[in-house]
Structure 1
Amino acid sequence: MEIAQVTQEVYTASKRLEKAANELYKLGEAKASSEQVYRVKLAQEMLKLKTEGMAVGMISDVSKGNVGDYLFKRDYDEVRFKAALESVDAIKSQLSALQSILRYQSDF
C-alpha cells in the first residue's frame, strides 16, 4: 500500500468519523427524548390506575404493559444509540490501524 493511498484512506476514515459523530448526537437526542416521553406516560398511567382503585402491588406491572409502545420506542432508540457507538469505535480502530501503517511507511 502506497503512502498516498494510506493517506487518502486516513482522510476518508476521519470524514466517516466526523459524520458518525454527528449522527451519534442525533441518536442520543432521540434516545433522551423517548426516555422522557416514556417516563411521563408511565407516571400518567400509574396515577390513572391508582385513581381507578387498582391494587398498589399491580400498578407498576399493569402500567408498563399499558404504555408498552413507549417502552419499545425507548428501548429501540437505546439499541440504535449503542450500535452507533460500536460503529464509531470500529471507525476509530480502522483509523488507528491506518495511522500505524502510515507511520511505519514514513519511517522507511
Structure 2
Amino acid sequence: MDLVDIVAAIRNVATRLDGVPRELHVQAKEYASAERDYRIALRQEMLKLRSEGFPATLIADIARGNVAELKFKRDLAESLFKSATESSKALQAELSGLQSIYRRQDEV
C-alpha cells in the first residue's frame, strides 16, 4: 500500500464516520419509541386483565404474551442501536489502524 492509497482509505473511513452520529441518533430514537410503546401497551393490557378478574399471579405472563409483537419490535430496535454503536467502534478502530500505517509509511 502506498501513501496515496492509505490517504484515500483514511478519507473513505472518515467520510463513513461522519454519518455515524446521525445514524446513532435515529437508532436511539427508534429504540426509545419502541420501549415507550411496549411499556404503555403492557401497562394497559395488565390493567385490562386485572379488570377482567384474572388471577394476579397470571396477569404479568398473559399481558406479556398479548403484547409480544411490541416486545419483539423493542428488542429489534435495541439490537439495531447496539449494532450501530459497534459499527461506529469498528470504524474508529479501522481509522486508527490506517493512521498508524500512514505514520509508519511516512517514516520509511
Q: Same fold (TM over 0.5)?
A: yes
Aligned length: 108
Provide the rounded CA distance (Å) in 1 between the counterparts of 2:102 and 2:67. Answer: 53
1:34 matched to which residue of 2?
A: 34
2:82 matched to which residue of 1?
A: 82
1:97 matched to which residue of 2?
A: 97
* Ranges of 4+ aligned residues in structure 1 off by more than 3 Å: none
Paired residue type of 1:104: R
- Scaled by the length of structure 1, the TM-score of the pair is 0.94
Instruction: Report deviation, 1:24.
Output: 1.6
2:19 matched to which residue of 1?
A: 19
1:10 matched to which residue of 2?
A: 10
Structure 1 gap segments, 5+ residues each: none
Paired residue type of 2:48: K
